[in-house]
Every structure is written in C-alpha cells, then in structure tokens.
Amino acid sequence: MTKIQNLFPSLKGKEAAQSQSEGANQPASEQTQCIVRHLAIIMDGNGRWATRRHLPRLAGHKAGVNALRRVVEHASDEHIEMLSVYAFSTENWRRPRREVEGLMRLFWETIRSDLEKLHRDGVRLRHLGRLQDLSPDIQQAVRDSVELTRNNTRIALNVCFNYGGRAELVDAVRQIIADGRNPDSITEELISSYLYTRDLPDPDMVIRTAGEMRVSNFLLWQSAYSEYYSTPTLWPDFGREDLRAALESYRQRQRRFGSLSASGHIIEEAAAPAHIKRR
C-alpha cells in the first residue's frame, strides 16, 4: 500500500481527487467526475472458482477473502477513498446450512485475523446490514472493529454482511414511522438519512465479477446513478489489472445524473446523442 499518511483528510474533501494529474486541465466539476471515490463491488464467482478446481465451495470463499485483501491495497493505491463490498446478502441464508455456517465462521475469523493489520494500514471499517440477526460473537467482533478503526482515514471499507437493499428500505421506513415523521417532511434527503449509509457518499461505480449483470438487491437506493461494470473475471482472480480496467472504463464515461452534462450545462448539439438532440 502506498505509504502516504492522511492522503484523504476528509472523505468529503475534493482536494485529493482534484490533485490527480489526469484531467488536470478540466474544470473541477468535469475533472472530479473522472475519479472513482466510492467503489462498490459485488464479489461473485467464488463457487465457480472452487468448482473448476474440484474444491469445496468454501475454498472459493477463502480465496475470495484473499482477493479482497489484495483489492483493498490496490484500491488505496488508486486513491479510491471508499470501498463497499457485498459479502453476504439477506438472501444468502437460503444457501445450504454448511455453506452459511462456513461464511459466518470465515467472516468472524477474518475480522479476528486481519483487524490489527487493517488498523495499522489506516483502514476504517464499517458494517452495513442487519447486525442484530448475526451471532453475538460476530456482533461483538464487528462492533470492536468499527470502534477501533473509527478515526482511520486512508481508505474506508464498508462490509455489507447480512445486507439487502430492500431490507434496508424496510428498516428505514419502520424507523421513519416510529419517529412519527410527518408525511410532508419525507424527502429524498430524509430517506437517505435513515439508511445504513447515512452520511456516506453514493457509489460512483459498481463492479460485478463473474460476468453476471444483475443488481441482486445491492445498494438499490444509493446506486441510482452509479456506473455499472461487469467483468468475466471470477472474484478470487480479480486483481490490480482488473481494477485498473474498470477504472479506465469509468474514465471513458460521461455521468449526467439525468441532466445533459455532468456539470449541469447543456452539451453542444453536435456532441449530443441522437435521442436527445431533437426535443
């Protein structure tokens, strides 16, 4: 991992992103849109990776943890400020008991074995999902790791474990009602403030490995305007070059957020795609 202390003093600060040389001549609004600050990943293909090697599926998940360890370092080197990874969905409980138990144990063991190093490396850990449904020792390990790393600033790692986008919205609506909110006060900002991701930026890009092109209940609200990227690489094989290819693809795209250009300006007639030229 690049040894630059406090590279990102604030996740909301734009300075780090704007100091990158790529696009240095562009206005800030055009320039920052080229940079992935928050990357979300659907880590798919562990099972296929194991099956191809005649190994049990859990061996694929273990290899998936190793891939995640590497990607946290590569992402930090690429100046990504925040990573959100889909490690266990609210639907994954439907898998065979042995696999579910294996994933639970792996999650717990990984926190225990990696926490000190992650902390030393300046990684801030967060958990997104329904913590209360996990075993008491996992809940405790998660709380300890979040607390220990809360002041770290190099890169934030949000582990979505027992996470579901719909469950998150259900939890938010329940809490909004419990808080007695007036219907007239319900805005997008208010709903965002009730999500697990309150105070976090939306992901700029969502990568899905193993060639699948489904959203699978991942960050449904937050990824409304995220750029999607699918790669055939199985998650345990995902490495630095795959990450760079995804980031390069992102740089080629123009994000408009429903407007005609990222900066909110009307784009030149000649540059506009045919379907928005004539109104």
Chain residues binding ligand FPP by CB under 6 A are 43-48, 61, 64-65, 68, 87, 92, 106-107, 110, 159, 210, 235
CA distance 160 to 126: 9
**CB of 45 or CB of 165, closer to ligand FPP:** 45
**CB of 61 or CB of 124, closer to ligand FPP:** 61
Instruction: Name the strand (E) or helix (H) holding 32.
Output: helix 28-32
**CB of 110 or CB of 222, closer to ligand FPP:** 110
Among candidate residues 104, 148, 101, 102, the one with its CA nearest the CA of residue 126: 148
Catalytic annotation, pick one of 77, 92, 152, 171: 92
CB of 256 to ligand FPP, least distance (A): 31
As a whole number of Å, the CA-based R_g of the chain is 20
CA distance 43 to 61: 10
**CB of 229 or CB of 235, closer to ligand FPP:** 235
CB of 232 to ligand FPP, least distance (A): 12
Q: Which residues fall within 8 angstroms of residue 26, CB to CB, at 6 or more apart?
A: 34
CB of 67 to ligand FPP, least distance (A): 7
CB of 61 to ligand FPP, least distance (A): 5
CB of 162 to ligand FPP, least distance (A): 12
CB of 118 to ligand FPP, least distance (A): 11
Q: In the complex, which residue's CB is closest to ligand FPP?
A: 47
Q: Which residues fall within 8 angstroms of residue 226, CB to CB, at 6 or more apart?
A: 40, 202, 203, 204, 205, 206, 219
> What type of residue is 179?
D
**CB of 18 or CB of 217, closer to ligand FPP:** 217
Q: Is 46 a catalytic residue?
A: no
Catalytic annotation, pick one of 44, 114, 204, 242: 44
CA–CA distances in Å: residue 146 to residues 69, 196, 258: 17, 14, 35
Question: Which region, left, alpha or beta, applies to residue 6 given φ > 0 means left and ψ of -120 to 50 means alpha?
Answer: left
Q: Is 134 exposed, middle or buried (0-12, 13-18, 19+ CB in 10 A)?
A: buried
Q: Are the C-beta atoms of residues 51 and 219 closer than 8 Å to each other?
A: no
**CB of 65 or CB of 128, closer to ligand FPP:** 65
Q: Are the C-beta atoms of residues 206 and 219 closer than 8 Å to each other?
A: yes
CA–CA distances in Å: residue 207 to residues 8, 19, 222, 247: 23, 25, 14, 10
Q: Is 25 a catalytic residue?
A: no
Give catalytic residue positions: 44, 92
